C-alpha cells in the first residue's frame, strides 16, 4: 500500500508482478495486507487498486494451479474483503483486467477503465470457471444474458462495450490513475450498500427458465465434449436460483471439479506450449528487424484462394503489400476477391475501412509487373502446388530480388530444398505453410531447408508474430509436420470404409471426440480433386500407373482407390454437390448421407471380396488417432520437429484438434504410451500391409523406458537437428 500523495486521503494498492500482474501467492498476500492496513488507518478515507505498468491484472497465476492447494491463497475471500471495506474502493483498470483480475475489480465499489482497456473472464479457455465469486457478481451487475455470454465464451470485451453493459462506471481517455483518484475523493462518505454487488438481486428476465434452457442447449452444442462451458453455465444458473453465499458455494464446488480435470490440465498445457513455441528462434532475428518489419514493403505472387487470404492477412497487420499476378484477367479477379475480404474484415473493426486503409496504393497495390520485385524485402509466393512452376518462379525471383530479400514459398508439402535449388541464394529460401482461409487461421508452419539461414528462420517467425499467427518451425519432409501426420489418419478413415464403415459414422466418432469436422466432411469441403491431382503426380493413379497394377496395392502396401473412383465420377465434394456426402446443390454446404455412396461401397466390397463388418467407435478412434500419433513419434525421432509441444500447437491451431485434449501428443501421454503401443501392435498385426500402423521405434523406446512424462521425451533421443 502507498499513498497517492503525502497528504492524500486515498491509499493506492498497486498489483505488481510483471509482465501481466498475475495474482501469485505473494501478490494476493500483499493485496490482503494492503487492504487491512488501509482499513485500519484512520487517515485513509478511500482506496484505489491499480496495476503496475499500465496493466490491471491477467488474473490468477496459471502456473500456481499445479501446486498443492495448501500453498495457494484463496482469492474469493480477498474479493469479499474488498467489497466489505467500510471505505470506498475504486478499481483503476488499464490494459487488461482478466479472470481473477476482473473479479478483484468486481469486488471494488467503483470501476473506472481506460478507453483502450480489455476485460473478460477467460477462465473457460483454460478449462476453468471464474472461481473468485465472479460467476455470482457479474450477473448481478450486467444481467444474466451478458454475463453468461462473457463467462461461457471467455471473450475479451473493450472498455467501450464494458461501459454500455454497465460493467464499468466510467471510461477515460487520459490518465486513468488520476481520474480514479478524483473519483475516489468524490465518493468519500457516500453509502456503500448499493455498491456492494453481493447484496444486489440478479436482474429478472421475462422468462428465465426458457432463456436458460435455450442457453444450455447452445452451450452444449458448441462444447462438443468440452466440460468447462457447461459448468460455467451451471455456476451462473446458481446465481439465478440461490442467495449469494450459496451461489458462491456452488461456484467453488464446480471450480474444484474443473481444477482437478484432465481437460483443464490439457488446456493449461496448450496455453504455455503455444507461448513457448511462438518464442522459438525469434532472438535470432537481426535486431533492426522488428522495427523495420512493419514499414517495409512486402510482396507476394499469386492471387488464388491462398494468396487472397495471405494478402488480407498482411493488410490487416498493416504491412504494405504489392500483389502480383501473371495476367490482367487473374489480377482483376484476385483484386475483387481481396477487396471483398478486406471490406468484410473492416466491418468487424472499430474505425472500419479507414483503420485498414486498403484503398491507399501505398498500402496495397496490384500489378502484373514482375520487375517491381527488385526492391522488396520479402516475397511470399502462393501459386498452386506445382514443383516445375514454383522452381521457374524462384529462378526468376533469385535474379530480380535484391540480395537480402527473403523468399518464402507457401506450400503444404513440396520439397523446400528442391525449390531453393532453383535460386542462387538457398540460405534465404524458406517455406511458409499458411492454412486456409489464411486471414482467419492462426497457424503458420515455417519450414527450413538444408541451407536456410537462422536469420531467415527468425525473420519468418517475426512475420508470423506480426500477422498475429502462431509460427512453428519444422524441418523439410513430404507434408512437413501437419499434413504428414494427417496422411495416415485419412488413410485409416478410408480403409475403415472399405472394411464396412460409412463416412457419417467415421465423422461422427471423430466429431464426438471433439474435432471441429470429421475427415470426410473435411475432404468434401477442401475438394477431393486436390488429393487426386497429387496422387496422379506421384504416379499412384491415373495414366502413369503401370498396366496390371493391383487395384488395392501400391509398392507392396495397402492402397485404397476409393477417393480416385469418386473423382473419376466427378464427385469432388461440395463444389460439385457430391462427394462422400450429397449436398442440396453444387456449392451446397449441408452434408447429407448419400444412399448412392452406401450402395457403391457395398458393390466395391463385393467386387474385391471384402466381407463387410461392423466397426465400432472405439476402433474408428484408435485407428485414426493412434496412426496419426505414431507418425508424430516418427517425426520427433527424425528431428523434423524439436518437441512434442510443437506438434500439439500445430494440431490445435491448424487441424481442428480439440484443444481440451491438449493436442495429439499430449493426448497420447494421457491415455498412456503403453496403451497406444499395444493398440498399434494389435492393428498392425491385423493389417500387416499398412506400414503406418507399425509402432514407431521411438514410441517403443519410450514405453521400454517406463512411459516417461511428455516433457522428458526428447531426452531419450540422441540426435537433434542443429536448426531446431
Ligand atoms: C483465474 O483467474 C482463476 C480465477 O477466476 C479464480 C481463482 C481462484 N498466469 O500471452 P503473453 C504469462 S485463471 C501466469 O505472451 P500477450 C505468459 O505465460 C486466469 N502467467 O502476452 C507469458 O509468459 P512467458 C485467467 C501468465 O500480451 C507472459 O505472461 N486469466 C498469465 O500476448 C506474457 O503473456 C487468463 O486466462 C497468468 N494468468 O497476452 C489470462 N497470463 O513469456 C491468460 C499471462 O514466460 N493470459 N501469463 O510464457 C492471456 O490471455 C494473455 O497472456 C494476455 C497477454 C492477454 C494477458
The confidence score (pLDDT) of residue 292 equals 46
58 ligand 1 Cβ < 6 A: yes
Please give the CATH number for the structural domain made up of 282-477.
3.40.50.720
* For the CA of 118, the nearest atom of ligand 1: 55
97 ligand 1 Cβ < 6 A: no
529 ligand 1 Cβ < 6 A: no
Mean pLDDT of the region 307-335: 93
Identify the residue with better confidence: 207 or 7: 207
In angstroms, the Cα distances linking 152 to 117, 137, 235, 371 are 21, 15, 10, 52
618-716 maps to CATH 1.10.1040.10: yes
**Catalytic option among 83, 123, 325, 498:** 123
Burial class (CB in 10 A: 0-12, 13-18, 19+), 163: middle
Ramachandran category for residue 542: left, alpha or beta (phi over 0 → left; psi -120 to 50 → alpha):
left
Reduce the DSSP state of residue 11 to 3 states and report it: strand
Who contacts 564 (Cβ-Cβ below 8 Å, separation ≥6)? 532, 535, 541, 542
- The phi and psi torsions of 561 (rounded to 5 degrees) equal -80, 5
Domains 282-477 and 618-716 agree in fold: no
* Tens-place pLDDT, residues 601-658: 999 999 999 999 999 999 999 999 999 999 999 999 999 999 999 999 999 999 999 9
pTM above 0.90, yes or no: yes
698 alpha carbon, distance to own chain's centre: 28
The confidence score (pLDDT) of residue 57 equals 98
Q: Whose CA is nearest to atom 50 of ligand 1?
A: 58
pLDDT at 102 over 80: yes
Is 123 annotated in the active site? yes
What strands, in cross-sheet order, belong to the sheet with 118-120? Answer: 96-98, 118-120, 157-158
132 ligand 1 Cβ < 6 A: yes
Q: Whose CA is nearest to atom 39 of ligand 1?
A: 20
Please count the CA atoms within 13 angstroms of the CA of 77 that sit on its side-chain side.
7
Q: Cβ distance 664 to 647 under 8 Å?
A: yes
Mean pLDDT of the region 517-534: 93
In angstroms, the Cα distances linking 611 to 80, 501, 600 are 67, 12, 15
In angstroms, the Cα distances linking 94 to 14, 103, 391, 667 are 12, 15, 51, 38
Q: Report H helices in 95-207.
A: 100-107, 134-142, 144-153, 159-165, 176-187
pLDDT band at 476 (very low <50, low <70, confident <90, very high): very high
| Residue linked to cell 526468376 | 396
Identify which of 334, 354, 331 has the alpha carbon closest to the alpha carbon of residue 343.
354
Who contacts 330 (Cβ-Cβ below 8 Å, separation ≥6)? 303
Average pLDDT, the chain: 93
pLDDT at 584 over 90: yes
Q: Whose CA is nearest to atom 51 of ligand 1?
A: 58
The domain spans of the chain are 2-259, 282-477, 501-607, 618-716
Is 230 annotated in the active site? no
Q: Report H helices in 224-261.
A: 227-241, 244-259
Mean pLDDT of the region 60-70: 82
Q: Whose CA is nearest to atom 42 of ligand 1?
A: 275
* Tens-place pLDDT, residues 670-722: 999 999 999 999 999 999 999 999 999 999 999 999 999 999 999 999 866 55
The confidence score (pLDDT) of residue 373 equals 86
Q: Cβ distance 412 to 654 under 8 Å?
A: no
Q: Whose CA is nearest to atom 49 of ligand 1?
A: 58
Burial class (CB in 10 A: 0-12, 13-18, 19+), 305: middle
Who contacts 448 (Cβ-Cβ below 8 Å, separation ≥6)? 416, 430, 431, 456, 457, 473, 474, 475, 476, 723
pLDDT at 72 over 90: no
Residue 719 to residue 42: CA distance in whole angstroms: 67
Burial class (CB in 10 A: 0-12, 13-18, 19+), 367: middle
The confidence score (pLDDT) of residue 386 equals 87
Residue 581 to residue 573: CA distance in whole angstroms: 7
Identify which of 371, 368, 380 has the alpha carbon closest to the alpha carbon of residue 299.
380
If residue 434 lies in a helix (H) or strand (E), which one and from where to where? strand 429-434
20 ligand 1 Cβ < 6 A: yes
* Tens-place pLDDT, residues 250-297: 999 999 999 999 999 999 999 999 999 988 766 555 544 433 444 567
426 ligand 1 Cβ < 6 A: no
* Tens-place pLDDT, residues 406-462: 999 999 889 999 999 999 999 999 999 999 899 999 999 999 999 999 999 999 999
Helices then strands (H, E): number in the chain? 29, 19
Of 411-415, 449-453, 564-568, 596-600, the one with minimum mean pLDDT is: 411-415
Please give the CATH number for the structural domain made up of 2-259.
3.90.226.10
98, three cell numbers: 482478466
CATH topology of domain 501-607: 1.10.1040
293, three cell numbers: 518489419
Amino acid at each position: 500500500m502507498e499513498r497517492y500523495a503525502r497528504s492524500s486521503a486515498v491509499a493506492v494498492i498497486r498489483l505488481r508482478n510483471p509482465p501481466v500482474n498475475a495474482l501469485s501467492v505473494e501478490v494476493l498476500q500483499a493485496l490482503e495486507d494492503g487492504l487491512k492496513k488501509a482499513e485500519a488507518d484512520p487517515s485513509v478515507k478511500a482506496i484505489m487498486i491499480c496495476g503496475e505498468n499500465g496493466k490491471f491484472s491477467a488474473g490468477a497465476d496459471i502456473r500456481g494451479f499445479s501446486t498443492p492447494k495448501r500453498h495457494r491463497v484463496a482469492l474469493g475471500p480477498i474479493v469479499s474483503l474488498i467489497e466489505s471495506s467500510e471505505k470506498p474502493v475504486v478499481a483503476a483498470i488499464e490494459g487488461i483486467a482478466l479472470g481473477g483480475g476482473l473479479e478483484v475489480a468486481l469486488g471494488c465499489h467503483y470501476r473506472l477503465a481506460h478507453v483502450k482497456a480489455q476485460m473478460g473472464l477467460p477462465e473457460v479457455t483454460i478449462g476453468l470457471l471464474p472461481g473468485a465469486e465472479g460467476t455470482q457478481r457479474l450477473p448481478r451487475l450486467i444481467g444474466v444474458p451478458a454475463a453468461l455470454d462473457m463467462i461461457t465464451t471467455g471473450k475479451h470485451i473493450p472498455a467501450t462495450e464494458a461501459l454500455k453493459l454497465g460493467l464499468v462506471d466510467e471510461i477515460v481517455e487520459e490518465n486513468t490513475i488520476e481520474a480514479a483518484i478524483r473519483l475516489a475523493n468524490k465518493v468519500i462518505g457516500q453509502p456503500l450498500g448499493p455498491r456492494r454487488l453481493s447484496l444486489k438481486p440478479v436482474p429478472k428476465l421475462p422468462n428465465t427458465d426458457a432463456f436458460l434452457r435455450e442457453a444450455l442447449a447452445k452451450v452444449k452444442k458448441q462444447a462438443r465434449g468440452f466440460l468447462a462451458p457447461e459448468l460455467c453455465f451451471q455456476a451462473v444458473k446458481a446465481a439465478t436460483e440461490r442467495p449469494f453465499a450459496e451461489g458462491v458455494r456452488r461456484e467453488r464446488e464446480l471450480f474444484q471439479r474443473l481444477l482437478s480435470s484432465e481437460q483443464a490440465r490439457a488446456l493449461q498445457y496448450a496455453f504455455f506450449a503455444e507461448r513457448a513455441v511462438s518464442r522459438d528462434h525469434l532472438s535470432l532475428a537481426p535486431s533492426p528487424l522488428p522495427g523495420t518489419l512493419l514499414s517495409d514493403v512486402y510482396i507476394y505472387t499469386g492471387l488464388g484462394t491462398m494468396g487472397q487470404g495471405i494478402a488480407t492477412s498482411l493488410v490487416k497487420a498493416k504491412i504494405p503489400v504489392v500483389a502480383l499476378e501473371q495476367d490482367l484477367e487473374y489480377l482483376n479477379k484476385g483484386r475483387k476477391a481481396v477487396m471483398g475480404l478486406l471490406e468484410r474484415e473492416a466491418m468487424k473493426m472499430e474505425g472500419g475501412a479507414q483503420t485498414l486503409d486498403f484503398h491507399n496504393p501505398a498500402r496495397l497495390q496490384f500489378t502484373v509487373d514482375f520487375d517491381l520485385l527488385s526492391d522488396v524485402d520479402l516475397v511470399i509466393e502462393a501459386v498452386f502446388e506445382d514443383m516445375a512452376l514454383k522452381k521457374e518462379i524462384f529462378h526468376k525471383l533469385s535474379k530480380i530480388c535484391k540480395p537480402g530479400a527473403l523468399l518464402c514459398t507457401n506450400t503444404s508439402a513440396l520439397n523446400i530444398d528442391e525449390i531453393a535449388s532453383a535460386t542462387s541464394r538457398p540460405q534465404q529460401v524458406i517455406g511458409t505453410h499458411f492454412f486456409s482461409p489464411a486471414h482467419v487461421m492462426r497457424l503458420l508452419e515455417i519450414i527450413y531447408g538444408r541451407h536456410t539461414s537462422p536469420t531467415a528462420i527468425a525473420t519468418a517467425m517475426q512475420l508470423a508474430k506480426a500477422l498475429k499467427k502462431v509460427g512453428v518451425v519444422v524441418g523439410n519432409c513430404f507434408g512437413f509436420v501437419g499434413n504428414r501426420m494427417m496422411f495416415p489418419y485419412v488413410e485409416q478413415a478410408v480403409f475403415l470404409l472399405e472394411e464396412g464403415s460409412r463416412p457419417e459414422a467415421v465423422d461422427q466418432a471423430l466429431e464426438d471426440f471433439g474435432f471441429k469436422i470429421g475427415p470426410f466432411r473435411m475432404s468434401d469441403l477442401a475438394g477431393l480433386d486436390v488429393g487426386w491431382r497429387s496422387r496422379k503426380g506421384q504416379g499412384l493413379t491415373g495414366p502413369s500407373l503401370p498396366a496390371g497394377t493391383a487395384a488395392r496395392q501400391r509398392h507392396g502396401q495397402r492402397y485404397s482407390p476409393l477417393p480416385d473412383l469418386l473423382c473419376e465420377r466427378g464427385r469432388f465434394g461440395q463444389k460439385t454437390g457430391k462427394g462422400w456426402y450429397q449436398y442440396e446443390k453444387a456449392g451446397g454446404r449441408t452434408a447429407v448421407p448419400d444412399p448412392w455412396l452406401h450402395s457403391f461401397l457395398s458393390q466395391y466390397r463385393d467386387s474385391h471380396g471384402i466381407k463387410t463388418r461392423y466397426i465400432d467407435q472405439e476402433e474408428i478412434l484408435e485407428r485414426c488417432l493412434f496412426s496419426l500419433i505414431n507418425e508424430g513419434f516418427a517425426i520427433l525421432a527424425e528431428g523434423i520437429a524439436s518437441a512434442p509441444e510443437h506438434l500439439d500447437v500445430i494440431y490445435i491451431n491448424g487441424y481442428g484438434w480439440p484443444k481440451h485434449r491438449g493436442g495429439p501428443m499430449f493426448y497420447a501421454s494421457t491415455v498412456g504410451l503403453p496403451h497406444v503401443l499395444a493398440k498399434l501392435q494389435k492393428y498392425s498385426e491385423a493389417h500387416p500391409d499398412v506400414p503406418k500402423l507399425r509402432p514407431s521405434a521411438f514410441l517403443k523406446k519410450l514405453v521400454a523406458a517406463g512411459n516417461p512424462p511428455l516433457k522428458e521425451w526428447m531426452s531419450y533421443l540422441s540426435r537433434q537437428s542443429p536448426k531446431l
